Structure 1
Amino acid sequence: MATLTHDAALANARRLLAAEPAAALAQAQAIIEAVPTSAAAHRLAAHALRSLNREAEAQAASLAAVGATIHDEAMVDAALALAENRLPDAETALRQRLREDATDVAAIRMLAEVAGRIGRYADAEKLLNRALELAPGFGAARANLATVFYKQNRFAEAAETLDAVLGDDPDNPAHVNLKAAALGRIGGYDEALALYEQLTARFPEHAKLWMSYGHLLKTVGRQDDSIAAYRHALAVDPGLGELWWSLANLKTIRFSADDRAAMEAALVAAEPAGEQRDDDRLHLHFALGKAYDDAGDVEPAFRHYAAGNAIRAGQLCYDAADTRTIVDAAIATCTPDFFAARMDMGDPAPDPIFILGMPRAGSTLIEQILASHSAVEGTMELPDIPALALGLGRETQGEGRHWVAALADAPSERLAEMGAAFLRRTAVQRKTGKPFYIDKLPNNWRYVPLIRLILPHAKIIDARRHPLDCCWSNFRQHYAKGQAFSYDLADMGTYYRDYVRLMAHIDAVQPGRVHRVIHEALLDNPEAEVRAMLGYLGLPFEEACMAFHTNARAVRTASSEQVRRPINRDGVDQWRPYDAWLGPLKRALGAVLDEYPAVPAHSQSATPTNSLPFGNS
């Protein structure tokens, strides 16, 4: 069929579609017989079949249209724009295509990819669900949906979706790898380890795969196996900076002179500019900082830490004013009258225990202690409170950062819904049936007003550590994501000061609702501090809490190996050898440094606030 005849036949089929779908289908089928690669004809057939209520056949026709897209010049151009990361060009072409035919499943999936690449995951999810509604057998769209779920921290949904994907394509290593990662985020460690073992056996020379395997081995406490996995990966790719940092991040390993020489050589090799090279360089700088720190050679240690932080700060472009604005808004809005007017709103469940504060302030130690109690389950740093807050801001204010204003306007039923949503979203993390469970995301300190309103009976523990020890520990730490404030000494001091400012306000307007644990007091007198914590929670003292280091539970944070040792003072005063370089931090901390601890340990009563079981207030 000549091109003109083909186009004329398509036009005729479109004219027939509304009034005579059977005739349109016949015309479309005739085109397909002549030109099997006509994606437009397959889509017309799908339209006609839907009009004739032949849905299964319509879905098959939509899927056939996807396969024919590789012969469509316009779609090939859009795919090329995607491959070259020319996202505006790709988006323009795809939107034009969907204006012409809103059921073009291939265009819908590609537009979802554009949305995902720029972080519009909700839009990507809607588009992919539409694609799968039209063509349930479209495996690429379903795999994309799993990735979108993972990117939104909806790990259980990602794993469930990947089950369906792997049912059709069981040997796809990318899908198996993503499922293992998702399972690792919801506590499915045994299955995740089994998947990694299969993958590493299939791909023994895949360094990043071995690194992911090492991360999970570290999480479950198999440190020797974790080190072996990292070392295996380094033998494959000695220039992969993240591997060296992964070893350093174990905290308990000491690098040899040969290791330092290998890292310095890798750093020289990574000098050419570029995103991947920058990533290798920053990881190598952090790892070398640790290596020279361990050797007591502070000048090169600081130089490497500073270089790694500078690269990462340039990538993240943190603005301290954003945090200050949120804290100012929370202090201005969340008055005693504000809380009084919303008393008894939210979800009444007492189950969650929030451990929050600055990162590297001892929250993992506190979690490990409490998770050794028979009534408390430790989970991990959960992303759900920030997601709920930012979602509320976007929903009612058009901007996630304006969540405080949105909270002020939220009706009672919305607060209860959000509390219930947190419980529902985090249920997948609960494996033991214990009555209480911990969310230890440090950055939740920014959202304490929201926690108090949506989960008024939840308990909140503020982990606080000496500002210089805490901030220096952060400066030495590279985080996989988040913590953008931590890559500049002045920004970190300002962030710490804003944190103290908000928590002092909460103490004033909600006295006794937050229990503060001073890290140094916990080290000096652990049993007294543990009894005080348990008293605040309304729980009886158990000796197991003092033997926390024998608890074999999985730990995902940078302190995973440290909390598997008895309490020690190894982390105290580690900033002192670097004092000469800490002027920007001290100036930013200001009076907070002189006033520490602003609120002494045991400032709150260790007695439960009422006589309900487990001290639920």
Structure 2
Amino acid sequence: MNDPLDQAAKDLGTRPEAAERTARELVRRNPADPRPRLILASALRRLGRAGEALPLLIELARAYPKAARTRYELGLALCAVGRAGEGEQQLDAAVALDPNHAEAWAAIADRAFARGDAEAERRARAALARLDAGHPELGRAAELVALGRHGEADPILRRFCLANPNHAEAARLMAACHVANRTVHAAETLLRHALTIEPGSARIRFDLAHALFAARLAEQALAELAPLLAAEPANPAYLNLQAACLGLLGDDRAAEAINAELAAAFPENASVAVNHGHAARTAGLRDKAIAAYRRATQLSPKAGEAWWGLANLKIGAMGESDEAQMRALLAGSLPDDDRMRIEYALGRRLEDAGEAGEAFAHYARGAALARAKFGGETRDYAAEAEAVTALYSAEFLAARAGQGAADDAPIFVVGLPRSGSTLVEQILASHPAIEGTMELPYIGSLVGRIEREGGPARIAAASPEELRGWGEEYLARTQVHRRLGRARFIDKMPNNFRHIGLIRLILPNARIVDVRRNPMAACFSGYKQLFAEGQEFSYDLGDLGAYYRQYLAIVRHFHAAAPGAVHTLVYEDLVEDTEGEVRRLLDAVGLPFDPATLRFFENDRAVRTVSSEQVRQPIYRAGLDQWRKFEPFLAPLSQALGDAREGWRA
């Protein structure tokens, strides 16, 4: 026969009402025993009657001040009745008394998330990770991963995985290091292996969904998330990833709605407010975006991402009081990530105010921090361009002409970021036969796979069937973005200019539009822009000039090697003669002129790039020579561009 006390304790999780009845009877029989009183208090809290539990718990805590379980229950009860500060102190006391109290650490993490204290949440998650690992060495690695110190965790995990190849948790942690290092294909392999060992693990499945999202495989990520959301529909981590996946697939209104729900559920979390701001901006909900970013700056004045979100709207959303607050923040102590973003935001504010010199100084400081964060090792862009042009000779392309997938639906818009590609996309997407999607990652992911399989040699050896298969794979993966069922669609990944040759092989009937802008204007516009990821070349003026020359060399090569394969549209010409250039553009992609393309600013489609607000306005000339105010500071860029500064149109 079960001991009544043990049975009451077991009933707490699933049958708290039964636990209450048993505990009351045990208290009646032996009022001096603290154990049934603690179970009774816990049952009352779980039944939503924390107010009744409090007197019991306060009395127990006075009588037994070193009882960690009592402090834990008291902390939760105090939080439940609205005394969060006192409750969190009791939770901290619980883990101080018992550092292995996993439930208390979990409660601390949840409370920290609710109030937006990322550092406290990270520490609590790290403690939980250590406890969950069940092995000292693995526990240390798990703690490091939770703290974001993947470089330190990596060697520990490699040793452990070699010795324990079928340890699911070790594989999961090693996969987290791969995601941090952007070797996502390796992470997916490890996580799928871990799931064969522990198929019921929600944690492994969530990490797999996250890795798939990192690889831009949003549909697959959502499929892995589905059972997790079915089991825990209110889990904020699951909902956040679901919203991100929907955004990647172009369902921006649904993504915004989820972020709005999270913002309402966690009104004190600045990061949640920032995410809502980003989602609202993408969905074209400008006022909502501003309100969300403002909310974040109120909750966490040092939240650099919120300040940059406001600045990045590019609509003069900030004023003198914001400038004063940002100056004060930069004068104090800030984490590098926040300082980086606030430097850029203040630079934007000062540029809008006409203070070019001081604005540039802040842009430069922000760029130096960004270069350190994202990596800025020197690359030989000229050699990279030579490798592309050497492989894709006119003879090489001619010998493989027509071997890829025959579909003519894709329109690739390429060029440098900040050269007008978003405007061209918006114009094209206003045509009734063309659907705008986003900067699709699929050519880049295909290139990554080919590089792992041998790079240029792999492309040179590809059979007609393989080329067609690669093209069909691209078309299949892009299908989810074609929500309107139009005949043509746009892939606006600017850096695809490096892959024009591969595009010609696998999709010979696709149209490629190169959007070109004055290099001083394009490069400086990129320099003062903090990108979400990638574009490491943009944080150094010399690298920008070298990158522009690489771009120019590659596009010019394909004009010569495959005449007619690329249509170059000069942004400045589009501004001066909009209708003429739009007509030529549509002719180049094989479609008749439609007046709607001249009213592109009336198109309410979601726009995901940093130009989202600008393309919702008619074309204006004001931005053409904006860079000239900064020319005294751009000598390194001018020098790196060399003859491309004047000969870029050719």
TM-score after normalising by structure 2: 0.77
Find the counterpart in structure 2 of residue 17 from structure 1: none
Of 185, 189, 195 in structure 1, the residue corresponding to residue 252 of structure 2 is 189
Alpha-carbon contact 1:377-1:437 (below 8 Å) kept: yes
Alpha-carbon contact 2:310-2:317 (below 8 Å) kept: no
Alpha-carbon contact 2:293-2:306 (below 8 Å) kept: yes
Amino acid at match of 2:356: V
Deviations for 1:31-81, whole angstroms, at most 9, x for unmatched residues? xxxxxxxxxxxxxxxxxxxxxxxxxxxxxxxxxxx9996555554355345
Task: Give the distance between the partners of 1:76 and 1:131, measured in 2 at CA.
Answer: 17
Of 150, 167, 171 in structure 2, the residue corresponding to residue 108 of structure 1 is 171
Alpha-carbon contact 1:116-1:148 (below 8 Å) kept: yes
Find the counterpart in structure 1 of residue 231 from structure 2: 168
Deviations for 1:284-304, whole angstroms, at most 9, x for unmatched residues? 111111111111111111110
Task: Give the distance between the partners of 1:316 and 1:370, measured in 2 at CA.
Answer: 33
Of 563, 574, 585 in structure 1, the residue corresponding to residue 615 of structure 2 is 563
Deviations for 1:477-501, whole angstroms, at most 9, x for unmatched residues? 1100111111111110111111111
Give the superposition deviation at 1:93. 4.7
Task: Give the distance between the partners of 1:270 and 1:345, measured in 2 at CA.
Answer: 59
Taking structure 1 as reference, are residues 107 and 472 closer, same or farther at Cα in structure 2, changes over 3 Å only? closer
Q: Which runs of 5+ in 1 are unaligned?
A: 1-65, 272-276, 397-402, 599-617
Q: Secondary structure at the match of 1:493?
A: helix
Taking structure 1 as reference, are residues 225 and 329 closer, same or farther at Cα in structure 2, changes over 3 Å only? same
Find the counterpart in structure 1 of residue 579 from structure 2: 527
Taking structure 1 as reference, are residues 173 and 504 closer, same or farther at Cα in structure 2, changes over 3 Å only? same
Amino acid at match of 2:600: F
Runs of 4 or more, structure 1, over 6 Å off, are 66-69
Task: Give the distance between the partners of 1:287 and 1:440, measured in 2 at CA.
Answer: 26
Of 373, 376, 392 in structure 2, the residue corresponding to residue 318 of structure 1 is 376
Superposition pairs of residues 18-417 of structure 1, within 5 angstroms: 71-73=134-136, 75-80=138-143, 82-83=145-146, 85=149, 86-99=152-165, 102=166, 104-271=167-334, 277-396=335-454, 403-417=455-469
Q: Aligned pair count? A: 519
Task: Give the distance between the partners of 1:595 and 1:92, measured in 2 at CA.
Answer: 52
Q: Secondary structure at the match of 2:271?
A: helix
Task: Give the distance between the partners of 1:388 and 1:201, measured in 2 at CA.
Answer: 39
Amino acid at match of 1:355: V
Deviations for 1:500-543, whole angstroms, at most 9, x for unmatched residues? 11111111111111111111111111111111111111211111
Alpha-carbon contact 1:221-1:554 (below 8 Å) kept: yes
Structure number with greater CO (CA < 8 Å, separation at least 6) is 1
Deviations for 1:303-346, whole angstroms, at most 9, x for unmatched residues? 10111111112233334534332211111222111111111111
Task: Give the distance between the partners of 1:416 and 1:169, measured in 2 at CA.
Answer: 42
**Is 1:430 aligned with 2:488?**
no
Amino acid at match of 1:90: I
Of 483, 503, 506 in structure 1, the residue corresponding to residue 535 of structure 2 is 483
Q: Secondary structure at the match of 2:301?
A: coil
Alpha-carbon contact 1:282-1:307 (below 8 Å) kept: yes
Amino acid at match of 1:126: T
CA RMSD in angstroms comes to 1.9
Amino acid at match of 2:361: R
Amino acid at match of 1:302: F
Amino acid at match of 1:432: L
Task: Give the distance between the partners of 1:82 and 1:582, measured in 2 at CA.
Answer: 41
Task: Give the distance between the partners of 2:282 and 2:218, measured in 1 at CA.
Answer: 17
Task: Work out the percentage of aligned pairs sharing the same amino acid.
Answer: 41
Amino acid at match of 2:306: L
Task: Give the distance between the partners of 2:257 and 2:389, measured in 1 at CA.
Answer: 49
Task: Give the distance between the partners of 2:528 and 2:505, measured in 1 at CA.
Answer: 35
**Is 1:572 aligned with 2:624?**
yes
Alpha-carbon contact 2:382-2:549 (below 8 Å) kept: no
Amino acid at match of 1:95: C
Of 644, 647, 650 in structure 2, the residue corresponding to residue 592 of structure 1 is 644
Find the counterpart in structure 2 of residue 511 from structure 1: 563
Task: Give the distance between the partners of 2:142 and 2:376, measured in 1 at CA.
Answer: 33
Taking structure 1 as reference, are residues 113 and 488 closer, same or farther at Cα in structure 2, changes over 3 Å only? closer
Task: Give the distance between the partners of 2:544 and 2:130, measured in 1 at CA.
Answer: 52
Deviations for 1:541-573, whole angstroms, at most 9, x for unmatched residues? 111111000000000001110000011112110
Higher deviation after alignment, 227-236 or 87-96 = 87-96
Taking structure 1 as reference, are residues 94 and 476 closer, same or farther at Cα in structure 2, changes over 3 Å only? same
Amino acid at match of 1:465: R
Deviations for 1:328-384, whole angstroms, at most 9, x for unmatched residues? 111122211111111111111111000001111111111101100010000011111
Task: Give the distance between the partners of 1:368 and 1:192, measured in 2 at CA.
Answer: 21
Find the counterpart in structure 1 of residue 492 from structure 2: 440
Task: Give the distance between the partners of 2:445 and 2:510, measured in 1 at CA.
Answer: 18
Amino acid at match of 1:381: E
Q: Secondary structure at the match of 1:575?
A: helix
Task: Give the distance between the partners of 2:529 and 2:138, measured in 1 at CA.
Answer: 45
Alpha-carbon contact 1:211-1:233 (below 8 Å) kept: yes
Higher deviation after alignment, 507-516 or 159-168 = 159-168
Taking structure 1 as reference, are residues 80 and 304 closer, same or farther at Cα in structure 2, changes over 3 Å only? closer
Task: Give the distance between the partners of 1:92 and 1:391, measured in 2 at CA.
Answer: 23
Taking structure 1 as reference, are residues 67 and 364 closer, same or farther at Cα in structure 2, changes over 3 Å only? closer
Amino acid at match of 2:475: L
Q: Secondary structure at the match of 2:408?
A: coil
Q: Which runs of 5+ in 2 are unaligned?
A: 1-128
Alpha-carbon contact 1:474-1:486 (below 8 Å) kept: yes
Higher deviation after alignment, 498-507 or 188-197 = 188-197
